[in-house]
A and B are shown apart, each in its own frame.
Chain A
Amino acid sequence: GAVVSQHPSRVICKSGTSVKIECRSLDFQATTMFWYRQFPKKSLMLMATSNEGSKATYEQGVEKDKFLINHASLTLSTLTVTSAHPEDSSFYICSARRDGGIEAFFGQGTRLTVV
């Protein structure tokens, strides 16, 4: 398999502040990475597709100014939750696929709590 590392695994922040989450593919290059949000015992909800060297593609209903995505290299994508509010509290997960590959490999997830 391939290794995707996500950091931090847990973060608590105050309402109104910004939080950055990193997603790294450790042993392969990923032109495309995906950011998901997940509610308890529910499936993954795709937020956006992160494209290396270009703008991210956001799913309908996801505010691109609130969830900033940067994919500056072939092994790193970041998601910044700006001006966080309690309703942004959730489990955020990234995934990456090898270029030309079928399987998606996931990071460990980040539990964000906004107080």
Chain B
Amino acid sequence: TQLLEQSPQFLSIQEGENLTVYCNSSSVFSSLQWYRQEPGEGPVLLVTVVTGGEVKKLKRLTFQFGDARKDSSLHITAAQTGDTGLYLCAGDRNGNNRKLIWGLGTSLAVNP
């Protein structure tokens, strides 16, 4: 059973297009984090959302945490080739031995 459903798993778009990645769960998380990973490297933290309904912006990236803290989305505006990579969401459920619950990842390819 996948506790954090991430979609889509694969996405190939043209430069300049917009896209949204979703992470959904039936469980409540105390916080949710988004990471970006390039091939052969470790994931790099993009943002952490903590409060239900919270919206955070990082240049062309907009992150939203659902009101009930069960889901989150990542929206990229006017994608660039440099946005290509694997995007991962991870939820923190306090008391779960500090383990993060990971989505399956979204492999994004932005074509020139």
Residues of A within 8 A of B (CB): 1, 4, 6, 32, 34, 41-44, 46, 49, 57, 91, 93, 95, 97, 102-109, 111
Contact = CB atoms under 8 A, between A and B. Distances in A.
Interface in B37-94: 40-45, 48, 50, 86, 88, 90, 92
B42 A93 contact: yes
A93 to B, nearest CB: 5
Main secondary structure of the interface of B (DSSP, over half): strand
Contacts of A93: 42-43
Contacts of A41: 10, 86, 105, 107
B61 to A, nearest CB: 17
B98 A105 contact: no
B50 A102 contact: yes
A35 to B, nearest CB: 12
Given A102-B31, A108-B41, A32 B103 contact: no
A44 B98 contact: no
Given A41-B107, A103-B48, A106-B44, A57 B97 contact: yes
Given A41-B105, A43-B103, A104 B42 contact: no
A106 to B, nearest CB: 3
A49 B96 CA distance: 11
B50 A46 contact: no
Interface in B17-42: 31, 33, 35, 40-42
Nearest to A45: B102
A103 B33 contact: yes
30 contacts: A1-B45, A4-B42, A6-B42, A32-B98, A41-B10, A41-B105, A42-B104, A43-B6, A43-B88, A43-B102, A43-B104, A44-B102, A46-B99, A46-B102, A49-B97, A49-B99, A57-B97, A93-B43, A97-B98, A102-B48, A102-B50, A104-B45, A104-B90, A104-B100, A105-B45, A106-B42, A106-B43, A109-B41, A109-B42, A111-B40
